[in-house]
Structure 1
Amino acid sequence: MSSMKDTIRSIAIELFFRKGYFATSISDIAKGSGIQKASIYYHYKSKEELLFSILKSTMDDLTRYLKENLSGLEDIEAKIRAAVHGHVRFHLERQKENFIANSELRGLSRDHYRIIVERRDEYEEIFQDLIRQGKEQGVFGNVDVKILSYAILTLCTAGASWFNPGGRLTVDEIADIYENFIVDGLKQGGQCLYPPEAAHVMR
């Protein structure tokens, strides 16, 4: 059975996803959790701290998931495939948290914003290192490592904004589309890395 802190977090995720962080009040979260407004502050000091908790745990879980997917792999193409597939899968399976993470950063305090951005930078560096290895080994074309890492992550993250769980393709089928599209693009020097039409076929 989940704790009240977990219940509050779950309700907050649902409300932030549906209404937006700024349009959601502590009273809304308390009502959804079945407790008094004052009881929220026993678990979280503020609404902003609750948002930070959601964003931090999501980012930490994403990084852990990436490292697990890369564990034991040696071939660079296998690594980038696993990284891309896992990134897409994580963002679709935890759609609400990831949508919030990419749309509500402005709700964080300066210190909390810095912490999340630092974690994002560390995550991006893993992708950049993979692309750099592929470039140096001649597996990928002569690409701009940093720019391509941003393009790939932006492309793969966008699924959280349009994914329909009841759509005709499974999470893994969508991840396969992204995986093949991106690897083919990297091999061609990044020339064809433009957003696929997955958003339209899934609606």
Structure 2
Amino acid sequence: MVAAVRRGASAGRAADIRAAALSLFSERGYPGTTMADIGAAVGIRGPSLYKHVDSKQELLAQIMTGTMDELMRTHRAAVAGCEDVVERLRRAAEAHVRYHARHRLEAFVGTREIRSLEEPHRAQVLARRAAYERAFRELIVEGVEAGRFVTASGKLTSYAILDLGMGVAVWYREGGDMTEDQVVYQYGDFALRLAGVH
């Protein structure tokens, strides 16, 4: 019982550290953030911070791989159990946009700090990004082959749909003149138009 409580406390502390790093990376940039800054944000002195995380680079890698893994998980959940390719693309696009509306900092850090990743972390994140884009492209190609979509390039269409979500992360704020659901639904329409729903 005591060991389980300690593991839970340690996991909670690790989550706090990641959240502080995410906030600081988005505010100051990865190069402008020190481990001491992260420690101060969670009330841990520098040397003690290394009991929970190996390095600042590890934190950035955790944030960015975690973001891509969560995007893939939400994509799979969105399309599961649906046979119609048009509806699957709508669901996938809506899940993508909703994630970015709710996780603006992850989107911002993921876009800006790819340059700060070192190997092998950079390759791991890029591989996840490629797999995520490919999941959208495969839906579009399937729709074209079924005569449901009309588009000259599945690859460019998938990039355009992915850009929708990243754009939402820039401007969307809760409490604005459109609800999250309204934005998500409208952007689902945009995605279908980009795919040339026929």
- Compute the TM-score of the two structures, normalised by the length of structure 2: 0.90
CA distance in 2, matches of 1:175, 1:143: 25
Q: Which residue of 1 aligns with 2:117?
A: 108
How many residue pairs get aligned? The number is 189
Q: Which residue of 2 aligns with 1:145?
A: 154
CA distance in 1, matches of 2:175, 2:25: 21
Superposed CA RMSD? 1.5
- Compute the TM-score of the two structures, normalised by the length of structure 1: 0.88
CA distance in 1, matches of 2:133, 2:194: 18
Q: Which residue of 2 aligns with 1:130?
A: 139
Residue 155 of structure 1, CA deviation: 2.6
Residue 188 of structure 1, CA deviation: 6.2
Alpha-carbon contact 2:97-2:164 (below 8 Å) kept:
no
Any idea what SS the aligned residue of 1:42 has?
coil
Match runs of 1:1-203 below 5 Å: 3-187=12-196
Listed as ranges, the gaps of 5+ residues in structure 2 are 1-8
Percent identity of the aligned residues? 35
Alpha-carbon contact 2:82-2:88 (below 8 Å) kept:
yes
Any idea what SS the aligned residue of 1:159 has?
helix
CA distance in 2, matches of 1:166, 1:106: 33
Listed as ranges, the gaps of 5+ residues in structure 1 are 190-203
Output the amino acid matched with 1:65.
T
Alpha-carbon contact 1:143-1:186 (below 8 Å) kept:
no
CA distance in 1, matches of 2:170, 2:36: 26
